[in-house]
Structure formats: structure tokens, C-alpha cells
Amino acid sequence: MAVKISVSVKGPLGLDDPDRMLGELAAETGLAWHRREVEEDGVLTGGIVEIILVAVVGKATEMTVSAAVDAAKQVVERWRGERLDPLDTSVDTEPESGTTDRDG
């Protein structure tokens, strides 16, 4: 069964922050991450925005799910520590839709 790891980041972000965050998550976890922006009316780029960074860990690498989550949490804490006004963040996991325990 595949597991989806989602990192939600909400707060004042610069134009380059999402790409930098993707790069740091990929480097620390060894997973391919992609960005999904949350649509909010009236939000200007570079202001307070919410993005969700997502990676999927397949069954072949299922043993590394907890290690990937721990690494993602460390990266998120580093981002929070870099700011005077810390970002609102969360790291969540859920089974990837369309997969079952028999997938492989």
C-alpha cells in the first residue's frame, strides 16, 4: 500500500520559498515532492499563502515511511526556526487513494 505524506505550510512566503522547500524536502527524504497550492480569493503572491507539498511512498519503500516523515518534520521545524513570525505547518500521512494492502 502506498502512503501519501503531506506537508502543509501557511504563512508569509517569498516567491522562491515554495521551490526551496521542495528542494530541501527532496534532499532530506530522497522522495519526489510536488506542490499543490490552496486556492484563496484575494491572496497576492508572496503574501500569506497556503501550499501543500506532497510525496508518495510506495510499498517497495514502505519501511522508510517513518524515516521520511521524521525527515520532513525536521525540515519543517528548520523553516519555522528561520522566521521571526513562524509558519503554521503540519505533516500528515494517509493511504494513497486507489491502493490496497494487496497492491505492489
User: What SS3 class is residue 16?
Assistant: coil
In tens, the pLDDT along 37-64 reads 676 555 445 556 677 888 888 765 655 7
In a domain, 104, yes or no: no
Map residue 80 onto helix, strand or coil. helix
CATH number, domain of 44, equals 3.30.70.260
Least Cα distance to 2 among 50, 68, 52, 89 occurs for 68
In a domain, 103, yes or no: no
Cβ–Cβ contacts within 10 Å for residue 79, how many?
Answer: 20
User: What domain range is 12 assigned to?
Assistant: 3-95
At 75-99, the pLDDT tens digits run 999 988 888 888 888 999 988 876 5
